[in-house]
């Protein structure tokens, strides 16, 4: 590895002061064309790039061009979409993203994560911790502390006691519409699978689902909600119990899944049990993950516009970090869209905006 070259080395070779080299690098106007050319030649010769650490330390900028993205797990397709879009948008604006994956287990303190963010003095943080992490008792305090050091935008429903920008979806209404959709297709016995009812975000989904059930006078078949009930496995288990422990008259004709992932597991189990989708059981997912169009049959689902929200979040953070009138914290609600495919029996590719 070559010994690192600094602005002083460039200055020495060009026989000018370091300040002049800096002016060339920052495109400061007060440099004569002749000097600029001479210095630039040496910079090019060595492919010199100024150290971001040193720049970040310097008083007037105090920016390391970095946004922290807090997500549960990259391979969780929902989080992956957010990270992907956030990073692309950040790059477009000359920023980069530092990844903060939350430990999968319970044995961690959100304050440690927050400390790591603070230690780096980032330009902003994008929090999208998901349903499970939202239940941590230390979360609000930790996020509030984080906000004392950098702007924060959360892609999540509002968290009590946290006064940052929230970009979330009206999942309650969406779920209401999803049930309505199934109702119009003739379904009268429904089941909601995956997630746990007492959880905050799932709360909105469940609320919308139950409200629609009540308003339309439908039957809700209670179903088992596993521990970490957001995985394909929980979908498999739910279906297994739903169709093996009940008699014909108490089985749902349609399933509303907490997420596409849960729906995926459910469909696998339905297939094993020789129940056809949609003829025997209709199913609807949530997230519009890429694989939902490749299931057999293609899954009707709900698009949460996560990429769009990720881009909005990054823009907001970058604006704040560049000092432009820091908008007061706000909550933006976006109506998700029902993507009708074939898993509920309607053979249309059209998109209903709700």
Rule CB under 7 A: which residues touch DNA? Answer: 4, 6-8, 15-23, 25-26, 28-36, 50-51, 54-55, 57-61
Q: In whole angstroms, what is the distance from residue 266 CA to residue 68 CA?
A: 35
Give min distance, CB of 66 to DNA, in A. Answer: 16
Name the one residue in this structure whose structure tokens are 């003739």: 186
> Can you say how many angstroms the Cα of residue 266 is from the centroid of all Cα atoms in its chain?
24
Conformation bin of residue 164: beta by default, left when phi > 0, alpha when psi is -120 to 50:
beta
Give min distance, CB of 119 to a second copy, in A. Answer: 4
Q: What is the 3-state secondary structure (H, E, C) of 223-270?
A: CCCCCCCCCHHHHHHHHHHHHHCCCHHHCCCEEEECCHHHHHHHHHHH
Give min distance, CB of 46 to DNA, in A. Answer: 11
Closer to a second copy by CB, 104 or 161: give it: 104
Residue 28: Cβ within 10 Å count: 12
Task: Dump the DSSP string for 155-190.
Answer: SSS--TT--SEEEEE-HHHHHHHHHHHHHHTT--EE
Contact region for a second copy (CB under 8 A) — 209-217, 292-300, 309-317, 327-335?
A: 292-300
Closer to a second copy by CB, 103 or 349: give it: 103
Helix axis angle, 33-46 to 7-14, nearest 10°: 120
314 sits near a second copy (criterion: CB under 8 A): no
Residue 185: Cβ within 10 Å count: 15
Q: Hey, which residues between 191 and 250 contact a second copy (CB under 8 A)?
A: 232
Which residue in 11, 100, 154, 303 binds a second copy (CB under 8 A)? 100
334 sits near a second copy (criterion: CB under 8 A): no
Q: How many residues would you count in the chain?
A: 354
53 sits near a second copy (criterion: CB under 8 A): yes
- Please give the torsion angle defined by the CA atoms of residues 204, 117, 84 and 331, in that order, rounded to the nearest 10 degrees: 40
253 sits near a second copy (criterion: CB under 8 A): no
Contact region for a second copy (CB under 8 A) — 53-61, 129-137, 187-195, 238-246?
A: 53-61
- In sequence order, what are the beta bridge partners of 70? 100, 127
Which residue in 30, 32, 44, 49 binds a second copy (CB under 8 A)? 49
Closer to DNA by CB, 5 or 273: give it: 5
Residues that bind a second copy (CB under 8 A): 1-2, 4, 47, 49-54, 56-57, 64, 66, 73-75, 77, 80-81, 83-84, 87-88, 91, 96-101, 103, 115-116, 118-121, 145, 147-151, 232, 264-265, 267-268, 271, 290-291, 293-296, 298
């Amino acid at each position: 590895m070559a010994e690192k070259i600094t602005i002083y080395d460039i200055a020495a070779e060009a026989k000018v002061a370091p300040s002049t080299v800096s002016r060339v690098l920052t495109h400061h106007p007060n440099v004569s064309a002749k000097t600029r050319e001479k210095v630039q030649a040496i910079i090019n010769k060595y492919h010199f790039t100024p150290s971001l650490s040193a720049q970040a330390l310097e008083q007037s900028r105090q920016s390391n061009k970095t946004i922290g993205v807090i997500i549960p797990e990259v391979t969780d397709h929902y989080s992956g979409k957010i990270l992907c879009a956030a990073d692309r948008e950040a790059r477009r604006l000359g920023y980069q993203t530092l990844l903060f994956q939350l430990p999968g287990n319970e044995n961690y303190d959100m304050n440690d994560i927050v400390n790591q963010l603070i230690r780096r003095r980032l330009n902003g943080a994008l929090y999208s911790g998901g349903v499970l992490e939202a239940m941590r008792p230390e979360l609000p305090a930790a996020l509030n502390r984080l906000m004392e050091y950098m702007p924060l935008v959360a892609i999540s429903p509002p968290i009590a006691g946290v006064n940052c920008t929230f970009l979330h979806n009206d999942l309650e209404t969406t779920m209401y519409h999803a049930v309505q959709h199934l109702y119009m297709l003739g379904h009268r016995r429904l089941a909601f699978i995956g997630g746990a009812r007492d959880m905050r975000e799932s709360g909105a989904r469940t609320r919308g689902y139950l409200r629609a059930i009540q308003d339309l006078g439908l039957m809700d078949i209670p179903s088992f909600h596993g521990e970490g009930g957001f995985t394909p496995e929980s979908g498999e288990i739910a279906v297994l119990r739903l169709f093996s422990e009940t008699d014909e008259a108490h089985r749902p004709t349609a399933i509303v899944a907490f997420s596409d992932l849960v729906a995926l597991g459910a469909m696998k189990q339905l297939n094993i049990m020789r129940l056809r989708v949609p003829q025997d059981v209709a199913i609807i997912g949530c997230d519009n993950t890429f694989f939902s169009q490749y299931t057999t049959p293609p899954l009707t689902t709900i698009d949460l516009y996560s990429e769009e929200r990720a881009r909005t979040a990054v823009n907001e953070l970058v604006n704040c970090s560049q000092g432009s009138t820091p908008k007061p914290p706000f909550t933006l609600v976006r109506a998700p869209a029902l993507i009708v495919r074939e898993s509920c029996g309607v053979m249309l590719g059209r998109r209903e905006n709700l």
